[in-house]
């Protein structure tokens, strides 16, 4: 971490494939707060093997699977950086060594409600050799023919799950544990629920967040997390491998085993990386959405960390590539600017409404709640001023980063500036 005084005042911030330099003006108090530096294993494969050899709260995978069984391995998609190929190269031989036939193993990309991954993206995710020799497919969230109902949620919504995954005898989840605005932390049960469920369950998952006043980012047992874990118990997630990654997306630690116990183990590792103590609440936060870059739907996660610590009336500047524009749910923009969003969302939930529009509304209402407390400006060449105006947010082009920062600071008397170079993965606290 770097403070004011004689310390360096010029920093490089990543924005997708681009980097931008920004200089803190003289006289401005500031804290530059990257993720904590930790020693990473020299042999990442050995870390995965150690996790598989000593699972948390579960027998080893070799003891869970049996000859004749069908196994479904559920992986996160290309919006996450989990080293899936590395994990699979250690996991698959153990499964097959226990007698499971090669052709009885299915690998599914858990999309939630994200866009479908291309063949090239899936090949890159799992590795070319594995892609060529195993069945690899996207999950489905919209086609009823590919979904099977397994019960009702607490709100009475039919729980429909990707049918090929439910036809397996054993389901294994792979993912990264990182701060998450809706779940507190990602990983664990989230890979299944809502990872491979229908869109209406994905929307319900976010509705809980949209109706919650509190910022859930960094909460170990957020209400959404506990609800998802309860639902998952009825569906069945038999084993997980979760990892924590450093600021360079290198493997730091891994744990395998029970979907609750192993996830909590990795939460502890993630906290070592992401926890950032602050000397005071900032007036202005400049947060880079890095390592997220894909679209506004994903990059919007970078506002949760600033919202936890910023002063009321403070300003949040989000540097975000948003290479694919707004993303899969463009209506989120109008819901961010809805003044009576929480009340309107609650009324629609009470009326039993679900589906994609409710998903966009829930996320928009959550973001809008922050935007009404703090002015938010996106600094992005992937978004337009008109799009951000629809959401009631500010916009600048990336070339104007320095100017935008200086103009923002000028609106405060003796401001304290917080810079988060990995804003999508930081957990600042006072």
What CATH number did the domain enclosing 209 receive? 3.40.50.11440
Burial 208-223 (b: 16+ CB within 10 A, else e): bbbebeebbbbbeebb
Question: Which residue range(s) make up the domain with 397?
Answer: 10-32+278-429
Residues 237 and 285 in one domain: no
Residue 191: count of CB within 10 angstroms of its CB: 29
Average pLDDT over residues 261-282: 97
Tell me, what's the pLDDT at 114? 86
Tell me, what's the pLDDT at 353? 86
- Please check whether residue 38 lies inside any domain of the structure: no
CATH number of the domain enclosing 380? 3.90.226.30
Tell me, what's the pLDDT at 3? 57
Q: How many helices (H) and strands (E) does the chain have?
A: 16, 20
Binning pLDDT at 50, 70 and 90, where does residue 6 land? very low
Residues 237 and 303 in one domain: no
Residues 212 and 284 in one domain: no
Binning pLDDT at 50, 70 and 90, where does residue 63 land? very high
Residues 353 and 291 in one domain: yes
Residues 253 and 166 in one domain: yes
Listed residues 243, 272, 301: the one ending a domain: 272
Q: Do the Cβ atoms of 256 and 56 come closer than 8 Å?
A: yes
- Please check whether residue 2 lies inside any domain of the structure: no
Residues 340 and 239 in one domain: no
Residues 187 and 308 in one domain: no
Binning pLDDT at 50, 70 and 90, where does residue 7 land? low
Residues 244 and 339 in one domain: no
Average pLDDT over residues 275-304: 96
Listed residues 214, 246, 272: the one ending a domain: 272
User: Residues 6 or more apart from 408 whose CB is under 8 A from it?
Assistant: 284, 315, 317, 377
Q: How many domains does the chain have?
A: 2
Q: What is the tens place of the pLDDT at every residue in 131-143? A: 999 999 999 988 9
Q: What is the tens place of the pLDDT at every residue in 205-214? A: 788 888 888 9
- Please check whether residue 357 lies inside any domain of the structure: yes
Residue 251: count of CB within 10 angstroms of its CB: 21
Residue among 411, 278, 403 nearest 3 (CA): 278
Listed residues 242, 272, 302: the one ending a domain: 272
Residues 195 and 49 in one domain: yes
Average pLDDT over residues 223-240: 92
């Amino acid at each position: 971490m770097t403070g004011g005084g004689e310390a360096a005042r010029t920093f490089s911030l990543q924005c997708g494939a681009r980097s931008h330099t920004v200089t803190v003006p003289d006289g401005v108090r500031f804290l530059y707060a990257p993720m904590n530096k930790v020693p990473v294993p020299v042999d990442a494969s050995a870390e995965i093997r150690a996790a598989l050899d000593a699972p948390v709260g579960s027998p080893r995978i070799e003891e869970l699977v049996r000859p004749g069984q069908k196994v479904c391995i559920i992986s996160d998609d290309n919006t996450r950086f989990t080293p899936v190929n590395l994990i699979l190269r250690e996991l698959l031989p153990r499964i097959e060594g226990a007698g499971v036939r090669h052709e009885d193993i299915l690998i599914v990309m858990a999309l939630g409600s994200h866009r479908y991954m291309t063949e090239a993206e899936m090949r890159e995710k799992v590795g070319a050799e594995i892609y060529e020799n195993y069945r690899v497919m996207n999950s489905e969230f919209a086609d009823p023919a590919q979904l099977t109902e397994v019960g009702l949620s607490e709100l009475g919504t039919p729980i429909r799950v990707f049918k090929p995954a439910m036809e397996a005898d054993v389901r294994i989840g792979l993912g990264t544990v990182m701060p998450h605005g809706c779940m507190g932390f990602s990983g664990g049960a989230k890979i299944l629920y809502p990872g491979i469920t229908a869109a209406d369950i994905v929307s319900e998952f976010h509705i809980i967040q949209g109706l919650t006043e509190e910022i859930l980012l960094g909460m170990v047992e957020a209400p959404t997390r506990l609800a998802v874990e309860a639902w998952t118990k009825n569906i069945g997630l038999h084993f997980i491998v979760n990892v924590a990654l450093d600021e360079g997306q290198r493997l730091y630690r891994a744990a395998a085993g029970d979907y609750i116990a192993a996830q909590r183990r990795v939460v502890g590792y993630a906290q070592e990386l992401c926890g950032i103590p602050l000397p005071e609440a900032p007036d202005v936060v400049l947060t880079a959405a890095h390592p997220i870059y894909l679209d506004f739907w994903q990059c919007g996660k970078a506002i949760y960390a600033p919202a936890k610590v910023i002063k009321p009336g403070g300003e949040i500047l989000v540097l975000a590539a948003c290479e694919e524009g707004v993303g899969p749910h463009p209506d989120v923009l109008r819901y961010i600017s809805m003044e009576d969003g929480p009340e309107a969302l609650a009324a629609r939930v009470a009326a039993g409404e679900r589906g994609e529009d409710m998903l966009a509304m829930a996320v928009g209402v959550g973001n809008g709640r922050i935007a009404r407390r703090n002015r938010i400006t996106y600094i992005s060449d992937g978004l337009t001023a008109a799009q951000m105006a629809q959401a009631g947010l500010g916009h600048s082009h990336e070339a104007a980063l320095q100017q935008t920062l200086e103009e923002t600071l000028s609106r405060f008397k003796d401001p304290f500036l917080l810079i988060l170079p990995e804003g999508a993965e930081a957990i600042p606290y006072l």
